[in-house]
Amino acid sequence: MQPAIATHGGASAIPDEVKEARSQGVQRAARAGYCVLREGGTALDAVEAAIRVMEDDPVFDAGQLLPPRVGADLNYDGEVELDAIIMEGKELRSGAVTCVQNIKNPISLARKVMERTDHLLLAGKGANQFAKEMGIDEVDPSELVTEMARKEWEEYREFNKNVKVSYTNRADFGHEHETVGSVAIDKWGNVACGTSTGGITGKLAGRVGDTPVIGSGAYCDNAYGAVWTTGHGEAIMKVNLSKTVLSYMEHQGLSAQEAADKAVGFMHRRVGGAGGAIVLSSSGDLARSFSSQRMAWAFAKDNSVRYGVDPGDDHDGGKIA
């Protein structure tokens, strides 16, 4: 099997001034993951490596060129709570964390959950306690919070200060989705997927979005392929978007592209949510479908990279040395 890896940097209305930087960021991550695959690494290794590159990359923090930490949006209480998942398609093993604080690379903690516990998902205090036992250093919370994120949070609080009690129908803040993700297939034909996020500005403390929820934010099975999703997390969860994509491939014999388009369309019709899915089929074909304005993506295969941001983009990113 020809190894391949795709990366993305979140579906949202990416501002023009950071479009180029984000596009470069997903390409760097795809190149890093591809090198892992080319050197004989597994799809899991490649996905983890690619996501770490993006977690460490400041361009995914709302475009602020700050010290090399991915920033995260602040929850209603002004705290950072991070989510991540990683999964492989041979035995359907996976690991995930949610509402974890002060961890620089949640994707690697998710992998530890997969490999070192009997569980699939650890939340909050327990997830941080597990990180400590695994020897993963906590970072100072300030390292994960940028001025841009704090400013957005302050505006959000000001705008919503009268609606706290009901919570629902709060202003749609047009917030940046900080989600990054990757899907890969290795030379043995094993697929893997992963995704990592800081969530959305003003989410309630303890909010678990689609990202760490298996079948919603990500899913893979060697029989069909690997999927990750990004967009309005609650809508994605309502329809189990990742699993829905694969079920169209399984039961209706659709291609990855047809299945992704159909699933994203179904979500929009059934629950009104915007978002996108990227699918890497078990034959190594990439499909992208998104109803948001932009999504930065890159795809590395056969020693070269392709990439795009706007709908319809499919640019040549050159060779991988």
Binding to its own copies, residues 77-106 (CB under 8 A): 81, 91-94, 98-99
The least CB distance from residue 298 to its own copies, in Å, is 28
The pair of structure tokens assigned to 3 is: 């190894």
Phi/psi of residue 319, nearest 5 degrees? -85, 155
Q: Are 227 and 181 in contact (CB under 8 A)?
A: no
| 72, 144, 214, 309: which one binds its own copies (CB under 8 A) | 214
Does 238 bind its own copies (CB under 8 A)? Our answer is yes
Residue 239 binds to its own copies (criterion: CB under 8 A): yes
CB of 131 to its own copies, least distance (A): 10
DSSP summary character for residue 104 = S
Q: Which of 40, 65, 116, 315 binds its own copies (CB under 8 A)?
A: 116
**Of the listed 146, 179, 211, 230, which one is catalytic?**
179
Q: Among residues 24 and 124, whose Cβ is nearest to its own copies?
A: 124
Bridge partners of 88?
A: 192
Number of residues engaging its own copies in binding (CB under 8 A): 55
CB of residue 128 to its own copies, shortest distance in Å? 8
CB 93 within 8 A of CB 129: no
* Footprint (CB under 8 A) of its own copies, residues 130-189: 130, 133, 165-170
Count of residues for the chain? 321
The 10 Å CB-count burial string (b at 16+, else e) for 167-201 is eeeeeebebbbbbbbbbbbbeebbbbbbbbbbbbb
Check if 244 is active-site. Answer: no
Classify residue 216 by its DSSP letter.
T
Q: Is 203 in the site for its own copies (CB under 8 A)?
A: yes
Question: Is 243 among the residues that bind its own copies (CB under 8 A)?
Answer: yes
What strands, in cross-sheet order, belong to the sheet with 225-231?
218-221, 225-231, 275-281, 286-290
> Using CB under 8 A, which of the segments 10-18, 40-48, 181-189, 204-212 binds its own copies?
204-212
| Closest by CA position to 7, among listed 21, 16, 15, 25 | 25
Q: What residues are paired with 1 via a beta bridge? A: none
Indicate the residue among 125 and 151 with the shorter CB distance to its own copies.
125
Q: Which residues of the chain form contacts with its own copies (CB under 8 A)?
A: 75, 81, 91-94, 98-99, 115-127, 129-130, 133, 165-170, 203-209, 213-216, 219, 234, 237-240, 243-244, 247, 250-252, 270-271
Catalytic site positions: 179
